[in-house]
């Protein structure tokens, strides 16, 4: 059984090759259109680690230190974004 | 560990009913089988819908460690251990890299084990065999840790007869697990996961309500810590801890997403839509599980001071003891929480057991010893493998009862699992990834990770190098070889 990733073009007829080319183009367009998702995750990763918060700050709100609310807020934003990405990616890879 | 929690006959009765219901579900799973094939036994035939898939993913991802381990670590580190929320979400994010595409391939090509993908993608027996070994070793370690924790939980139920209860607990729970697991395969395990996931979810919510009712608002607990000698535990993490945060996010996110039993659940989704919906909901569960465990650890730090070293792992048990003694309702709720702990442990352990058996049968026995064996014969071998693996690990769990440091030493599952990132996460997207460099990278990554983890190096502090896990250094080398070698113009 040939590996699905190997392009063994010599075995295929012209219409088949055209179809695969079209599929590859469609896939690469989809990949390009969703590439920004990786950049959003990088941005969120920068926010979830509280490197930007002054050390020694022990102020708190509702029992949570302020810095922890900042990082939890970033994690919750990541959860929302992740759920949205999964929810809207039924028809793409 | 839990000798602080003696239980009466009523609690035992409740637990016995719960355990019997698991065997009954296993029997239903056995009767629901459609054919005697590996796919039916290990993936449930046509796959699971949203409700079952979501709860089996949930019950499998959150183990007993989520409840007791995270609370103990929070007691030691304070709010710094909020990282548990981050890394549990990181796994779901990392699934995005490969899970939807792998699901589509698995359904189209009839994959049963994770290594089926590696075998077809790279066509290399050595790479497939090494990937199988890495996954089996990591899962055996994981399963052993779950069995030992099961023994300790039962130790807590038995009060003064803790040591005897540990042995009987490991043997008894292992026996129950292997019975329902080999009766109904993944179908039985996923259905028991529905029950176990439900108990676990309820247990966490009850735990939060119980903590607030018993100790008052979280703000009072944090204030108590702020005015004690532990004030540093509510301060932002320092530079070293921040590096550890990044390390945990990467290694647990990437390594946890490659858990073989989780990958098999990806295969078992009825459709990509079902998989995506389940993952979308899973993205919020760190807030209802890991975050509650962190809050419990904060309450313990505020109101049960004085725990040091390994005793900090008793933080959750100590909190529960206070609740248990407060009222009859508290007693009942604590029994429910302990059932949730058992549920978390068993649902993770049974999935690991089934995954080990499938990989041994399909990737090793079938490929290297009996390529012409019929599917029904392989399923039978898989069941015998489950019995043999669990028997050996149960004996090991009893022998290592007092040797927890050994478990710590071999607990490098993420360091080795993460070395499979190039093969799965890059290999599925990039046709240019070549077999030779991928295999060489995997070997080099394993050597670097294990050498750093176990070698006599002064610069390795607390199992980490400059705050990062050894597995990530191995992965850097692994990636450089796999990607660099594939980009090289030389033929592979």
**Contact by Cβ (8 Å): B294, B84:** yes
Q: Does A40 touch chain B (CB under 8 A)?
A: no
For the record, the structure tokens of B222 come out as 């944090």
Specify the pLDDT at position A12: 46
CA distance B152 to chain A (A): 32
For the record, the structure tokens of B316 come out as 């959750």
Sites in chain B below the pLDDT cut of 70: 1-6, 65, 156-160, 310, 403-411, 490-492
Q: Inspect the interface and report whether the beta carbons of A75 and B221 lie closer than 8 Å.
A: no
Virtual torsion, Cα B43, B46, B51, B57, nearest 10 deg: 20
Specify the pLDDT at position B159: 60
Q: How far apart are CA B363 and CA B355, in angstroms?
A: 11
| pLDDT tens per residue across span A35-92 | 899 999 999 999 999 999 998 888 999 999 999 999 999 999 999 999 999 999 865 5
Best CA proximity match to B379, nearest among B28, B56, B34? B34
Q: Inspect the interface and report whether the beta carbons of B96 and A54 lie closer than 8 Å.
A: no
Q: Inspect the interface and report whether the beta carbons of A3 and B121 lie closer than 8 Å.
A: yes
Q: Please, which residues have CB within 8 angstroms of residue A24's CB and are 6 or more apart in sequence?
A: none
The string of DSSP codes covering B153-193 is: HHHHHHGGGHHHHHHHHHHHHHHHHHHHHHHHHHHHHHHHH
Specify the pLDDT at position B458: 86
Specify the pLDDT at position B348: 85
On chain B, the residues whose CB falls within 8 A of the CB of A8 are none
DSSP type of residue B8? -
On chain A, the residues whose CB falls within 8 A of the CB of B291 are 72
Interface test with B, best of A23, A64, A66, A81 (most B CBs within 10 A): A64
Q: Inspect the interface and report whether the beta carbons of B238 and A55 lie closer than 8 Å.
A: yes
Asked if pLDDT for residue A8 goes beyond 90, the answer is no
If one compares B116 and A31, the residue with the highest pLDDT of the two is B116
Question: Crossing angle, helix B162-215 and helix B315-326, to 10 degrees?
Answer: 70
Question: Which of 296-325 (B) contact A at CB < 8 A?
Answer: 298
**Contact by Cβ (8 Å): A69, A52:** no
Q: Inspect the interface and report whether the beta carbons of A86 and B276 lie closer than 8 Å.
A: yes
Q: How far apart are CA B111 and CA B250, in angstroms?
A: 27
Q: Inspect the interface and report whether the beta carbons of A63 and B222 lie closer than 8 Å.
A: yes
ipTM of the complex: 0.90
| pLDDT tens per residue across span B166-195 | 888 889 889 998 888 888 888 888 888 888
Which of A4, A56, A71 is nearest residue B235 as measured by Cβ atoms?
A: A56
Best CA proximity match to A66, nearest among B219, B444, B164? B219
Q: How far apart are CA A51 and CA A89, in angstroms?
A: 32
Question: Which of 226-245 (B) contact A at CB < 8 A?
Answer: 226, 231, 234-239, 242, 245
CA distance B196 to chain A (A): 24
Specify the pLDDT at position B490: 63
CA distance B68 to chain A (A): 21
Q: Inspect the interface and report whether the beta carbons of A75 and B86 lie closer than 8 Å.
A: yes
**Other beta carbons within 10 Å of B310:** 11
- Spell A39-63 as b/e; 16+ CB within 10 A means b: eebeebbebbbbeebeeeebebeeb
Q: Inspect the interface and report whether the beta carbons of A67 and B96 lie closer than 8 Å.
A: no
Q: Inspect the interface and report whether the beta carbons of A3 and B109 lie closer than 8 Å.
A: no
| pLDDT tens per residue across span A39-49 | 999 999 999 99
Which of A3, A58, A85 is nearest residue B96 as measured by Cβ atoms?
A: A85
Rg of chain B, C-alpha, whole Å: 22
Specify the pLDDT at position A17: 62
In three-state secondary structure terms, B461 is strand
Which of B89, B100, B236 is nearest residue A79 as measured by Cβ atoms?
A: B89
Specify the pLDDT at position B428: 95
In three-state secondary structure terms, B44 is coil
- The three-point CA angle B162-B64-B184 to 5° equals 100
Q: Which residues does residue A61 pair with via DSSP β-bridges, in sequence order?
A: A64
Question: Which of 443-462 (B) contact A at CB < 8 A?
Answer: none
**Other beta carbons within 10 Å of B490:** 8
Specify the pLDDT at position A6: 45
Q: Does B374 touch chain A (CB under 8 A)?
A: no
Specify the pLDDT at position B86: 97
Q: Does A56 touch chain B (CB under 8 A)?
A: yes
Q: How far apart are CA B154 and CA B171, in angstroms?
A: 11
Q: How far apart are CA B178 and CA B244, in angstroms?
A: 37
Q: Which secondary-structure segment (H or E) carries B460?
A: strand B460-461
Q: Which secondary-structure segment (H or E) carries B55?
A: helix B50-61
If one compares A29 and B200, the residue with the highest pLDDT of the two is B200
| pTM strictly above 0.80 | yes
């Amino acid at each position: 059984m040939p590996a699905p990733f190997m392009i063994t073009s010599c075995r295929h007829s012209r219409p088949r090759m055209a179809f695969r080319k079209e599929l590859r183009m469609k896939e690469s367009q989809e990949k390009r259109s969703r590439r920004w998702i990786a950049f959003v995750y990088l941005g969120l990763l920068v926010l979830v680690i509280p490197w930007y918060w002054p050390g020694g700050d022990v102020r708190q709100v509702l029992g949570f230190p302020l810095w922890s609310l900042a990082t939890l807020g970033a994690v919750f934003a990541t959860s929302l974004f992740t759920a949205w990405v999964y929810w809207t990616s039924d028809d793409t890879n | 560990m839990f000798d602080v929690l003696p239980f009466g006959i009523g609690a035992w009765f409740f637990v016995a009913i719960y355990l019997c219901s698991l065997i009954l579900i296993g029997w239903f799973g056995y009767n629901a089988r459609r054919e005697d094939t590996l796919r039916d036994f290990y993936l449930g035939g046509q796959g699971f819908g949203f409700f079952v898939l979501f709860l089996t993913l949930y019950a499998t991802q959150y183990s007993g460690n989520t409840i007791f381990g995270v609370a103990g670590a929070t007691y030691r580190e304070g709010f710094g251990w909020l990282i548990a929320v981050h890394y549990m979400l990181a796994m779901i994010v990392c699934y995005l890299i490969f899970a939807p595409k792998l699901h589509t391939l698995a359904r189209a090509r009839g994959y049963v084990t994770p290594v089926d993908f590696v075998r077809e993608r790279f066509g290399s027996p050595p790479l497939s065999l090494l990937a199988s070994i890495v996954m089996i070793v990591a899962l055996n370690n994981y399963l052993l840790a779950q069995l030992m924790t099961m023994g300790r939980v039962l130790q807590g139920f038995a009060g003064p007869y803790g040591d005897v209860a540990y042995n009987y607990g490991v043997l008894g729970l292992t026996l129950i697990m292997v019975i329902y697991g080999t009766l109904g395969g993944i179908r039985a395990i996923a259905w028991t996961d529905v029950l176990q996931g439900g108990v676990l979810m309820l247990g966490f919510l009850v735990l939060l309500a119980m903590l607030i009712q018993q100790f008052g608002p979280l703000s009072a607990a944090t204030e108590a810590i702020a005015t004690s000698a532990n004030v540093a535990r509510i301060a932002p993490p320092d530079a070293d801890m921040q590096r550890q945060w990044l390390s945990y996010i990467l290694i647990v996110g990437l390594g946890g997403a490659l858990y073989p039993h989780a990958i098999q659940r990806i295969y078992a989704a009825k459709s990509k839509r079902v998989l995506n919906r389940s993952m979308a909901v899973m993205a919020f569960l760190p807030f209802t599980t890991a975050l509650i465990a962190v809050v419990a650890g904060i309450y313990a730090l505020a109101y049960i001071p004085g725990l040091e070293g390994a005793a900090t792992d008793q933080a959750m048990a100590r909190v529960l003891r206070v609740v248990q003694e407060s009222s009859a309702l508290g007693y009942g709720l604590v029994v429910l929480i302990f059932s949730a702990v058992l549920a978390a442990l068993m649902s993770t352990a049974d999935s690991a057991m089934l995954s080990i058996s499938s990989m041994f049968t399909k990737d090793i026995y079938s490929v290297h010893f009996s390529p012409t064996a019929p599917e029904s014969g392989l399923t039978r071998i898989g069941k015998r493998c489950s019995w043999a693996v669990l028997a050996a690990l149960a004996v090991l769990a009893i022998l290592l009862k007092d040797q927890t440091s050994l478990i710590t030493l071999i607990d490098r599952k993420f360091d080795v699992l993460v070395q499979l990132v190039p093969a799965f996460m890059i290999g599925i997207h990039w046709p240019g990834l070549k077999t030779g460099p991928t295999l060489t990278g995997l070997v080099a990554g394993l050597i670097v990770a294990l050498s750093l983890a176990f070698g006599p190096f002064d610069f390795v502090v607390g199992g980490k190098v400059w705050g990062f896990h050894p597995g990530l250094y191995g992965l850097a080398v692994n990636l450089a070889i796999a990607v660099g070698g594939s980009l090289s113009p030389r033929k592979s």
